[in-house]
Structure 1
């Protein structure tokens, strides 16, 4: 399938350096389109005035106007949508002579008498509003018969069964998830294949389409929303997706890469890596699609300073062979958040009080993962429960969680223990409190540790009900809003409880106080830790800047704080097309991160510990705005161990 864009490739071949105008969401989307066309570029140009910690985006440097002026033999390019606005700014900066138009809409969708957008969701709406002046859209199309005859963005919605009557002149733009299924339906309706186009390849769409059937695409790299991924669709073509470039760079910094797998895939992955300035020291390919014993050749070729990237789908046989040879290796497939999320060993449940909970195969208790160690002396093990959100969770994570690190430290000190890790993704302090009352007291632990704060920083921007009462979870908001819309039995709406006017930090801290009071009443040791976040950090290193730009922020060196693009003098022009990076959630998080750090510093209770400054002046810790690599989790466990060691000694004395 073709995308709606075409490119003036000769322009790229005539120059040494290619600079993409912009560095936020829309510029990155444009860059992804270039990568998927195997078009090389070298820099991103930040069109903001000021002194910042310039990040790297997709492993490419972000530069300012002055640095751009100092280069020789370069061109500046932008997407078709951004072209006029880019020209306006470059004209002011006297750089307009370096600007070239390289992206345009395909002729197949221009001047069509029956141009149809397939889809009636947010993507279709945004695309139509962005390009409505450039395209003559006649209809929207949907597979839902109930939508036929209705209007979307002022245009009639037709059912796909009506496409055949329009097939002579029609062109279809797929603005929905199931690319391949929709493509086949359009072909069946006699739409010409060269007139069926998609907006842009997107991994999340393949995730939804494939559901849990991983055979439909092979993941080659990835984890979360912030970086880059390479993956293969069912047609065996390697695509880029903005999911895990920073992860790749982080793992291969100061390391040499060896690619191993089926030969053609190894070659294609190397080609993709070159466009990202990730260079391979060795390629070891085999002719067979499946492992045939060639993996043992790695023993003769791989050096100690090299790490092997396996481009195959995971194989236990290969994994065992690598362990036997003690070779440092990474399964690129394992760095995909989709695979983690679809882990068949973890089942997801709707929880009437907490919204969602998980159960991992082999674990006795739903909502907890246990780490155990016994010295064999017969002494009663210490029971510790950990509460928090995804930064505490041990479900569906790739990096070793701090709870496991803590267990290893207790084991090293010869302490018999059972740690119940009860952190669940997206839980706020309110859900921690409910879980404590409902589940944790049943366990009868010796100690409860709450490590949280991040999910409460932006709660009001993600949950409408939370603006009035932060005790309400996202699950409750959605469930009871849906029930109220049924308007049965005289229901007039939803009552969320008395309005809570406390600020987010005070609410978070007061809820921690409630948990402390409950534990004290039941003779349970309690320790609350205010977690660090990117926004609570006192400085900004290169890796931090790489993360912040993905949310629409740069670090202002003069002010010593993160800077949102919407306060820049160019914002009246720039933010119209910069994308929605600076949406209210991240504005809220950065605002409240400062408040949480200030509030944490003012608390002097023995049961409370402020870790908001834990990663100050540390680099290569954060993988996104809250989550950290194993290096960070080890630091968290070290500090928590230091804070609880006296209580541990007391409990040991009581258990003897």
Structure 2
């Protein structure tokens, strides 16, 4: 029986990723689903013959109509699998990469699947295009600490207050103020280049740990062969007019380049942009498939991993 919660409540503070799930009570989990250490498990991780790690944003987050994960689990139920999901609304491939390193690889999956694309467009999730691995929430928190406990704050030293005299941070002592906020090397690349770089690093990491890896370029409103109905067309035009007039231009630039990259890397990258071309009314907003759309995604992804003999 599903809990009385319609979608994920995101209130966890994650120092590496910016934000995360906080507690299982904030998630619409079913009886066969479990939240543990920042991951959602669908199925029994102890007895499963095949473990599938999931990376992605809101399209893969179970809070959105169960996403495509639940229908995929049903399709693969006879295979005795466990889905290990690290997908989270708003995550880009920058956060996926860090999530993979910290949480997914240690959970020992046999396969890692990532459905991505839209959250990387125009560096929407990061604090700055110069620092794509750092989410804006992390920068806000860092700036708060520097302002409150830094050299000019006139406040008692942060590390003097929160560190014992016997356990001082390496390179610091209790008499030092917090200095500047350091974000690292400054990038000067396009968002689709950053997206591709993250995917290549994720693939390389998985290969090193004998994990099969596939990246799927996700479908979204406004690109590909999907035809709007009148209602959807109105929604899209209103979004462009009222919220982001530059969205359409950014969307097409990103996807034009991303689709070319996928075409050149078909061994580990799959283009799902046109997956809804023969259907209508398969979105509930400008980015997210509805329940019918998620079922189509699940069927296609399941078909692909079986054709590749990953299962």
The interval holding the TM-score normalised by the smaller chain is 0.7 to 0.9
Q: Which residue of 2 aligns with 1:390?
A: 58
Q: Distance between the aligned counterparts of 2:248 and 2:143, measured in 1? A: 25
- 1:471 and 1:379, CA in 2 relative to 1: closer, same or farther beyond 3 A? closer
Distance 1:483 1:449, change over 3 A: same
Aligned mate of 2:290, from 629, 636, 643 = 629
Could you say which residue in structure 2 is the equivalent of 1:356? 19
Partners of 1:533 and 1:593 within 8 A in 2: no
- 1:401, distance to aligned residue in structure 2 (A): 1.4
Once the two structures are TM-superposed, the CA of residue 535 in structure 1 deviates from its matched residue by 2.7
**1:493 Cα offset (Å):** 4.4
Map of 1:410 onto structure 2: 76
The match for 2:197 is: 510
Cα deviation for residue 609 of structure 1 reads 0.8
Residues of 2 paired with 1:449 and 1:482: CA distance? 36
Pairs aligned (count)? 276
Matches of 2:43 and 2:47, distance apart in 1: 14
2:163 equivalent in structure 1: none
Cα distance per residue 1:47-100 (max 9 Å; x no partner): xxxxxxxxxxxxxxxxxxxxxxxxxxxxxxxxxxxxxxxxxxxxxxxxxxxxxx
Q: Map residues 254-293 of structure 1 onto 2, 5 A cutoff.
A: none
CA distance in 1, matches of 2:68, 2:18: 24
Confirm or deny: 8 A CA contact 1:535 1:593 kept in the other structure: no
Unaligned runs of 5+ in 2: 26-32, 152-176
Does the aligned pair in 1 maintain the 2:212–2:310 contact within 8 Å? no
* TM alignment of 1:18-417, pairs within 5 A: 340=6, 348-358=11-21, 359-361=23-25, 363-372=34-43, 381-394=49-62, 396-397=63-64, 399-411=65-77, 414-417=78-81
- 2-structure distance, mates of 1:607, 1:353: 27
Give 1:434's aligned residue.
98
CA shift in 2, pair 1:360/1:511, >3 Å: same
Aligned-residue Cα RMSD (Å) equals 2.9
User: Following the alignment from structure 1 to structure 2, what is the Cα–Cα distance between the partners of residues 636 and 387?
Assistant: 15
- Judged with a 3 Å threshold, the aligned counterparts in structure 2 of structure 1 residues 537 and 617 are, in CA distance, closer, same or farther, namely farther
> SS state of the match for residue 51, structure 2?
strand
Which structure is higher in strand share?
Answer: 1
Counterpart of 2:143 (choices 464, 471, 481) is 481
**Match of 1:349, SS?**
coil
- Assess if the C-alpha contact under 8 Å between 1:547 and 1:623 holds in 2: no
**Residue 532 in structure 1 maps to residue 219 in structure 2:** yes
Structure 1 pair 404–380 and aligned structure 2 pair: CA distance change class (3 A): closer
- 2: CA distance, partners of 1:592 / 1:379: 41
Question: 1:566 corresponds to which residue?
Answer: none
Instruction: Sort the Cα spacing of 1:349 and 1:650 in 2 relative to 1 into closer, same or farther, 3 A.
Output: closer
Label 1:479 to 1:590 Cα distance change in 2 as closer, same or farther (>3 A). farther
Between 532-541 and 433-442, the greater mean CA deviation after superposition: 532-541
Unpaired runs of 5+ in structure 1?
A: 1-315, 317-333, 554-579, 652-656
Aligned to 1:249: none
Runs of 4+ displaced beyond 4 Å = 490-493, 583-587
Alpha-carbon offset, residue 357 of structure 1: 1.4
Query: Rg bigger for which structure?
Result: 1
How far 1:447 moved relative to its partner?
Answer: 0.7
Task: Tell me which residue corresponds to 1:615.
Answer: 276
Q: Deviations over 1:560-614 (max 9, x none)?
A: xxxxxxxxxxxxxxxxxxxx433555653354233333433x3233121111222
Match of 2:232 among 527, 544, 550: 544
Do the aligned residues in 1 keep the contact of 2:17 with 2:134 (CA within 8 Å)? Answer: no
Q: Name the CA distance, whole Å, in 2 between partners of 1:439 and 1:477.
A: 22
TM-score by length of 2: 0.78
Change (3 A) 1:598 1:547: farther
Match of 2:161 in 1: none
CA 1:595–1:443: 2 relative to 1, 3 Å? same
**2 CA distance for matches of 1:452 and 1:433?**
12
SS at match of 1:609: strand
